Structure 1
């Protein structure tokens, strides 16, 4: 019976003083990344874009939403707008700065969408009453490349009407603001 035991693979002795997670030499070390499966090609880190001097373009639809900051982003009539990417080229995260100093961060490893930005803003304002907000409607975002490449400035307005007095229901009309 002892012959059968020796044919099985033998267990090696483990020494608890030896840490096998640290490689024996630098050439054996592996670069450890976090969740490579969740990164999407074509979606950039804003810091990398800043180094390359890439020009960002903000989706113009953000100026026509007439969205109240303390209401859910899903309350918007046009649900397709929420799925659109906030920027071109798509980025993984962006800081959204309000004029009075508040900052929120919108994140999405597949590219920050308009809804992601609105969700980040809504999280800060959902418990505020209407009378607590001086300018409760989103007017859009501004990107000041010189001041801070990695932040968008959030603009607010007092009323939720269309910016140029036009009706939102006219679909064929395009307004350049």
Structure 2
């Protein structure tokens, strides 16, 4: 019988050592913060900036996009501009307000870029025909801290500037062959 006691004591010691290696409570094995991936240092909530009275600067490149709001953002020639932050300091989300009352929200936890803003606008206008749009081209954004700190006003214009490159669609017509 002493052999049985020894066999039982060996497995018990192994079980005991396994228990000792486990954390004391389940909360110790979890990370301290739940969403570490979505919090980026240096990116702010616009409400926090409003409390601090921080001024925002909108990227001037938005005025030179020459982009038709019902065409895909991929038609914008300068792809590097799309990667730039919409404003400084960077913010997590911004409401884009159109003069006729429409409002869209651009979001990006790493800082709203120009692409995020045009994507949000395009989502609203992609099913509209050209003749339904009074001012189809994006002219830029305006921030009026007195009127509404947490929104950018979207400006539009009747026609886009002449394209600088050979990109863009040609209008269908007869005798356009060179």
**Bucket of the pairwise TM-score, normalised by the shorter protein:** 0.7 to 0.9
Provide the residue aligned with 1:101 in structure 2.
101
Provide the residue aligned with 1:114 in structure 2.
114
Provide the residue aligned with 1:42 in structure 2.
42
Provide the residue aligned with 2:69 in structure 1.
69
Alpha-carbon distance between aligned partners in 2 of 1:75 and 1:51, rounded to the nearest angstrom: 38
Provide the residue aligned with 2:176 in structure 1.
none
More helix per residue: 2
**Residue aligned with 1:37, SS:** coil
Q: Does 2:145 match 1:148?
A: no
Shift of 1:95: 0.6
Provide the residue aligned with 2:53 in structure 1.
53
Alpha-carbon distance between aligned partners in 1 of 2:50 and 2:84, rounded to the nearest angstrom: 22
Provide the residue aligned with 1:92 in structure 2.
92
Shift of 1:92: 1.0
Alpha-carbon distance between aligned partners in 1 of 2:158 and 2:106, rounded to the nearest angstrom: 24
Q: Gaps spanning 5+ residues in structure 1: where?
A: 13-19, 24-31, 170-177
**Residue aligned with 2:149, SS:** coil
Runs of 4+ in 1 over 6 A off after TM superposition: none
Moved more, 34-43 or 94-103: 34-43
Structure 1 or 2, whichever has the larger Rg, is 2
Cα deviations across residues 94-133 of structure 1 (Å, max 9, x unaligned)?
Answer: 1101111111111111111111100010011111111111
Q: In 2 relative to 1, CA 143–76 (structure 1 residues): closer, same or farther, beyond 3 Å?
A: same
When normalised by structure 1's length, the TM-score is 0.75
Alpha-carbon distance between aligned partners in 2 of 1:73 and 1:144, rounded to the nearest angstrom: 26
Shift of 1:168: 4.7
Matched pairs, number = 152
Q: Gaps spanning 5+ residues in structure 2: where?
A: 1-6, 20-24, 166-178
Cα deviations across residues 28-49 of structure 1 (Å, max 9, x unaligned)?
Answer: xxxx855222322111111111
When normalised by structure 2's length, the TM-score is 0.75
Shift of 1:4: 4.7
Alpha-carbon distance between aligned partners in 1 of 2:161 and 2:122, rounded to the nearest angstrom: 20
Alpha-carbon distance between aligned partners in 2 of 1:128 and 1:33, rounded to the nearest angstrom: 44
